[in-house]
Structure 1
Amino acid sequence: MSRRRIAVLDTTLRDGEQAPGIVMGPDAKAEMARRLELAGVDVVEAGFAASSSSDFEAIRRISGCVRGCVVCSLARAVGHDVRKAAKALEFARHPRIHVFIGSSRLHMEEKLRMHPLDVVDRAAAMVRLARAYCDDVEFSPEDSSRADPSFLCSLARAAVEAGATIVNVTDTVGHGIPEQLSDVAGMLCRSVPISDRVTLSVHCHNDVGLALANTMAAIACGAGQAECTVTGIGERAGNAALEEVVVAAGLERSGAGMDVRVDPRHMRSIAQLASAIARRRLPATKPVVGCHAFAHASGIHQDGVIKNRRTYEALRAEDVGGRGGSIVLGKLSGAHALRDRLEGGGVTIGAMGIHRLATMMKGLASNLPVVYGHTLAALHALASRPC
């Protein structure tokens, strides 16, 4: 069975920078964009051209140095924004203008102060304007997960008729659940001419921890593009994480049928670069790229992975650019892990010795959570003494 192609749009340089306290200058953005291109990301959303001179300059610079993937700029459904985005992208080999406008009743009444029919007219007009500058135009009905379904379909159809090539389902405030994103994606696929000419995309926020699940649900129901950020950084609790989407889409499971071009072996190094640029430490337990993502502390798990890593690892650390799983010795470790560590260092120890050493290690580890090599060597010397 052929695997369905899923494009990946990385918005670390736009939505990721919206995380409080993160500032990325043009140099940092260009470096990250080149790394994303090298990894095989299909689209780099380089910024929001009308938001600042720094973003405008970053988009222009990225347009000149990134040639193998699409370079995108966000724009409100306002003429000034669309023209600014087009100017910033004028040197891009594959430019995309990404137009958005609120689609939920709350956004239209309280933020835009616009009648729904005027929202439809504005969206169509700005998509047409964007198409006058480039052939690739994405349209996002912001707050899709809280929009009236029939209105959402009408708005999306109007955008496609005006020339949009991508329609983006947005869970802007992390309000949705997987069943809801599935329903919205399926509804748009049935109601809007989604085809080889028009792609359905999905953009989810992680306010209640469902960004990845919601993204995968929308993909399963027809979305052909996933939008994400490196390590999930972004507004409030962030976005669906690039590394999680790439790995989840590529895991071998019955009926998955998903193919992404991004090479997962770049995920760890890109995450480390993003962490350095954002001046934020990468959480140890961060899925896929955290330093504990492939670490095993339970004796039962340690015994299993020593025999066969697949018993407790869904993927290998090497698959995402790591150096292999690690056995962490502590009070939960058993004799099997202890013997494996010693023999790996060229030390042979008998059954009585390993029992004494395990007892001593567990006692020490009650106050010292992790037993490192030098401590283990000292314990081994004590355990080897005659009783």
Structure 2
Amino acid sequence: MTTETPAPQGNTDQVFIFDTTLRDGEQSPGATMTHQEKLQIAEILDAMGVDIIEAGFPIASNGDFEAVAEIARRSKKSVIAGLARAIIADIDRAGEAVRHAQRGRIHTFVSTSPIHLAHQMKKTEDEVIEIITKTVTHARNLIDDVEWSAMDATRTPTEFLVRCTEAAIKAGATTINLPDTVGYSTPQDYYQLFHDVIERVPDSDKAIFSVHCHNDLGMAVANSIAGVRAGARQVECTINGLGERAGNAALEEIVMAIRTRGDALPYHTGIETTHLARASKVVAAAANFPVQYNKAIVGKNAFAHESGIHQDGMLKNAETYEIMTPESVGIKSTSLVMGKHSGRHAFKEKLKELGYDLGDNQFQEAFQRFKDLADKKKHVYDADIVALVDDEVGSASDRIRLVDMEVVSKTGGVHRCDMTLSIDGENSTVSVEGTGSVDAIFNAIKTAVKADPHLVLYGVDAVTGGTDAQANAHVRLEMNNRIVSGNAAEADTLVASARAYLNAYNRLLVERGASAQGALAG
């Protein structure tokens, strides 16, 4: 068996990108796209530098025909291909659909594997050879650019695949596609397949060989690259890996693998990679197929870091954990996600980004509160941190602090708050009822501090979205013609309410300049 070896380092052959998002991708159950969505995606692919756009299967429906024909009319740079079975009517329909393109292609296919011949086509090998010769010749009489595919090539005996390929080239095929239709192959097997066919087919140099890999075993991209290393120079793929069953090889992964690993893959494509993120979003929206968060290249987490060790490395040198830049694929920047795994370095950098410069003690207290919050909610957003730090800075010198609180509420029954406050360093514990949970909390504070300021305003809003969002409570108190406001942000609404009331009361103390307990009685 031939040993796989990389192409010579001086070889910078172009790999042509054949996008089949609008044909194979749309065959995903539930991924049907509207006419306008197809036109939008085709425009993006054309602008991105995709060499060949397989715009659809013209014989499938009038809608498919119209979409292929309109894309053909609008295309500026890309070759526009229409798919056709090895049936004369299919080929004629495809030829009609792409005839207005500056450069059109008919892509025709026939099954070649024993299992397909026996159960689906019910044809002999000799009959298949006759079909290939007849249909490829017919397509070539309609257009100069003809691609022929051997459906289920990876489960086809090499001897027969060589015969089929030879017949297709003789009949005028300019591209030969040997697809892994059912995602059955391994990289070494796929490499060997291309190596043997290219080596054994006379005039193989007269056609470009193409890979088309499905992802049933999760090896579509690896198999595609193996085929390229064996001599294929066209890769058939889709945006986001969209496609039947487990999908196709993902265009963005193929392109960025070639771009990033030029040392091992000395090829190039004509793709403008900064368009990849937008293409991913548009296709995901049109197909209604969300992109998994950890999807390579275009997933939400592809350039996001939460681990403290990773964040520390990223802040020192991005190359410690990123092998490509987010900007290179059209993503604005790296995201340091603040969560329970984040460390002090990342938190300090985030504070600087948000405009805070805290002293050591304030920073340590803010960091601890951040870690406590991160243990309670999945995502800590910038707004959460702003609320947390503002609250921390504002309460650093408070003379009255909440030590502990327990609230009991019962429908149609009692609402009671058991609260312990630290007042000028001494704890005071009270148990007070109210008409509701918040009323009980405010009554408990007034009882403990022996004062009764007038509550002018009380409100709560969420800092961010979701059921685990921080509650931002606002309290405005009035006493002796003085009005002050207090704010507090907490994951718990009742705790936030208590701390906001205390924040306001502490500000009254500062203005009054009196002792904490009973300071406002007069």
Identify which range, 344-353 or 305-314, moves more after superposition: 344-353
Asked if 2 retains the 8 angstrom alpha-carbon contact of 1:137 and 1:163, the reply is yes
**What code does the residue aligned with 1:211 have?**
A
1:33 corresponds to 2:26: no
Question: What secondary structure does 2:55 align onto?
Answer: strand
**Partners of 2:203 and 2:300 in 1: how far apart?**
40
The superposition leaves residues 2-39 of structure 1 with CA deviations (integer Å, 9 ceiling, x where unpaired) of: 41110000001100110001222332222211111100
Q: 2:28 is matched with which residue?
A: 19
**Partners of 2:165 and 2:291 in 1: how far apart?**
38
Q: 2:199 is matched with which residue?
A: 190
Q: 1:251 is matched with which residue?
A: 260
Q: 1:48 is matched with which residue?
A: 57
1:234 corresponds to 2:225: no
1:266 corresponds to 2:265: no
Asked if 1 retains the 8 angstrom alpha-carbon contact of 2:369 and 2:388, the reply is yes
Asked if 2 retains the 8 angstrom alpha-carbon contact of 1:335 and 1:354, the reply is no
**What code does the residue aligned with 1:276 have?**
A
Identify which range, 165-174 or 88-97, moves more after superposition: 88-97
**Partners of 1:72 and 1:382 in 2: how far apart?**
61
Write out aligned runs for 1:371-386 (5 A). Answer: 371-384=380-393, 385-386=396-397
Write out aligned runs for 1:159-178 (5 A). Answer: 159-178=168-187
RMSD: 1.5
Asked if 2 retains the 8 angstrom alpha-carbon contact of 1:267 and 1:321, the reply is yes
Give the one of 207, 212, 219 matched to 2:221. 212
**Partners of 2:384 and 2:71 in 1: how far apart?**
50
**Partners of 1:245 and 1:146 in 2: how far apart?**
24
Q: 2:354 is matched with which residue?
A: 345
Question: What secondary structure does 1:170 align onto?
Answer: coil
1:91 corresponds to 2:100: yes
Distance apart, 1:386 and its partner CA: 4.6
**What code does the residue aligned with 2:335 have?**
S
Where does the alignment leave 5 or more consecutive residues of structure 1 unmatched?
A: none
Rg larger in structure: 2
Distance apart, 1:180 and its partner CA: 1.0
**Partners of 1:377 and 1:57 in 2: how far apart?**
53
Q: 1:325 is matched with which residue?
A: 334
**Partners of 1:162 and 1:231 in 2: how far apart?**
35
Q: 1:359 is matched with which residue?
A: 368
Asked if 2 retains the 8 angstrom alpha-carbon contact of 1:26 and 1:61, the reply is no
Asked if 2 retains the 8 angstrom alpha-carbon contact of 1:67 and 1:94, the reply is no
Q: 2:416 is matched with which residue?
A: none
1:61 corresponds to 2:70: yes
**What code does the residue aligned with 2:303 have?**
F
1:119 corresponds to 2:128: yes
1:291 corresponds to 2:300: yes
Which structure has more relative contact order (CA 8 Å, sep 6+)? It is 1
Asked if 2 retains the 8 angstrom alpha-carbon contact of 1:69 and 1:94, the reply is yes
**Partners of 2:335 and 2:359 in 1: how far apart?**
24
Q: 2:14 is matched with which residue?
A: 5
Over the matched positions of the two proteins, sequence identity in percent amounts to 38
Asked if 1 retains the 8 angstrom alpha-carbon contact of 2:312 and 2:346, the reply is yes
Identify which range, 105-114 or 358-367, moves more after superposition: 358-367
1:107 corresponds to 2:116: yes
**What code does the residue aligned with 1:31 have?**
Q
Asked if 1 retains the 8 angstrom alpha-carbon contact of 2:147 and 2:177, the reply is yes
Distance apart, 1:356 and its partner CA: 2.8
**Partners of 2:202 and 2:283 in 1: how far apart?**
37
**What code does the residue aligned with 1:192 have?**
V
Quickly say closer, same or farther: Cα 1:353–1:253, change in 2 above 3 A.
farther
**Partners of 2:390 and 2:202 in 1: how far apart?**
73
**What code does the residue aligned with 2:135 have?**
M
**What code does the residue aligned with 1:113 have?**
K
Identify which range, 350-359 or 124-133, moves more after superposition: 350-359
